Amino acid sequence: MLHDFISRTFGGTGRPQPASVLSLGQIWVDVMMDVNEMPPAGGFAAAKQINSAIGGSFRVLQAAKRMGSPAQHAGIIGSGLWGAAVRKALAHDGIEHIGQDRLDSDTGFRLVLNDGERKTFIATYGAESGGDSDCFDGVKPTDGDVVHISGNTLMDHSAAGIEALFDRTMLDPDARPYTIVLNPTNTLELVSDQLLENLVLARPIWSCNRQEAHTLADRLGVPRDESTAKLTVGGAFDDAMEQLCGSLGEALRATLVLRAGARGAWVREPGGTVTHVPGFPVKPVHTRSAGACHTGAFCAMLAQGWSLLDAVRIANAAASLAIEHHVSGVPDCPDRQGALALVAAAERGGAGENDGADGTAGDGGNVGETSSSRQNKAAEGAADGATDYRS
C-alpha cells in the first residue's frame, strides 16, 4: 500500500537533504475588500470586510516549504511598507530570499474587490515587476532542484532576466540537471513571440488550469472545441480535458499538468500518454484558487524524487486540504504529513475521485495504474533523485 511506502520513505531521520524549489515569480501584497456591489464610476461603496495577504508566488513557495523542501525566492523585493510585509512573511515561513533588493521603490500591491459574484482587480506595480537582464544572475540551480517560473515574470521588465537565464542555463533541456515548472497565467497572450518560443524549446513541465491552457492553445494555434469551454462536470467535461491535455501537450512536446479543481488533473506524460489523476472530495466553499498551493506542493514532491503521477496525486491532496482549511477565503496549504495522510486514507478506502458537483467520493483512487506499480515508481524516483520529465 502507498501509505506503507509513505511511512518508510518519510518516517525516521537521517534522510538526505532534499533539493530546493527556487521561484522566479513575483510577490506582492493582496488587499481584499468585500462589497455589496461594485460602485459605478464616480460612485461610493463601503467594504464589509477587509483582509490582506501576501500574494503572487509566495503561496507557491509557502506550499513547497510546508511540504518539506527548502524554498528560495529569486524575485525582487522593494523597500517600504509592502516590501517589509513580504520580507516578514518569507522569514516567518523559513523561505530564503536570494534575489535582488530595490532601495528606490516599494513592492506593489493589488486591490481585490469582491461583490460575491465576481472579483475586480486593481494593480499597482512595484519593485517586483522591475529588473533587467541581470536580475536573475544569482540563480544557480543545482542537480535535482526545481525552478518555478510564473507567467507574471514573463511580461514585465523581469522578462529580460528570464531571457538571459535561458541563454545561460535553460535552453538545452537534454543537458539541464534540474527541472523547470512553468505556471503560465491568462496574461500569456502578452508575452513576446521570441520568449514564448524559448519557453517551448526549453520543454519545461507546464502546470496550468483550463483557462490558462486555452490561452496557451490559442497562442500556439492548437484547435479546441469551443462548445466545451463552459462545461464543469460530467463525462463531456472529462473528455474535453483529456483532449485539451493531449493536443496541447503534443504541441508543446513536453509534460503538461492540466489542473481541474475537485476533478483532479490530467497529465500528459513523456511519450504522449494522457492520464487522469483524480482529485479529492472537498466541501464547496467560496475561496480563492488553490492553484498556487498545488504548484508548490507539486514542485516539492518532484524535488524530493517522487514520480510524476505521484507528485500530482499528492499535490491534488494538498490543494483539497488548502481549500478546506482556508483562512479568510485564502487557501492554506497543509504540511506534508497532512497531504500524505489524505493520500494514504484514499488508498485504503478507494476514495479520491469526485463524481460531480455534489462533492461526493466516487469509486476512483487510482491514476491509471495499480497501487503497487505506483509504489515502485515512487520508490524509483526517491532513489534516483531528479527524473527526466521532458519528452
Does residue 347 sit within a domain? yes
Beta bridge partners of 71: 21
**pLDDT for 282:** 77
Q: What is the largest CA-CA distance in the chain?
A: 63
**pLDDT for 371:** 36
**pLDDT for 229:** 63
3-state class percentages of the chain: helix first, strand second, coil last, to nearest 5? 40, 20, 40
SS3 for 59-119 is HHHHHHHHCCCCEEECCCECCCHHHHHHHHHHHHCCCEECCCECCCCCCCEEEEEECCCCE
Does residue 108 sit within a domain? no
Does residue 170 sit within a domain? yes
Does residue 209 sit within a domain? yes
Q: Mapping DSSP to helix (H, G, I), strand (E, B) and coil, where does residue 212 land?
A: helix
**Which mean pLDDT values do the consecutive 10-residue runs of the chain (391 residues) have?**
49 59 96 92 92 94 98 97 98 97 96 90 94 92 95 88 85 86 86 90 94 93 74 77 95 96 93 94 72 97 96 97 87 95 88 39 33 36 35 39
Instruction: Give the domain CATH number at 322.
Output: 3.40.1190
**pLDDT for 127:** 96
Beta bridge partners of 97: 73
Query: How many domains in the chain?
Result: 1
Distance CA 62, CA 85 (A): 15
Model's pTM, two decimal places?
0.84
Does residue 259 sit within a domain? yes
> Are 167 and 143 within 8 A, CB to CB?
no
Does residue 45 sit within a domain? no
Range of the domain at 335: 2-23+142-384
Q: Which three cell numbers stand for residue 120?
A: 475586480
Does residue 212 sit within a domain? yes
Does residue 316 sit within a domain? yes
**pLDDT for 350:** 61
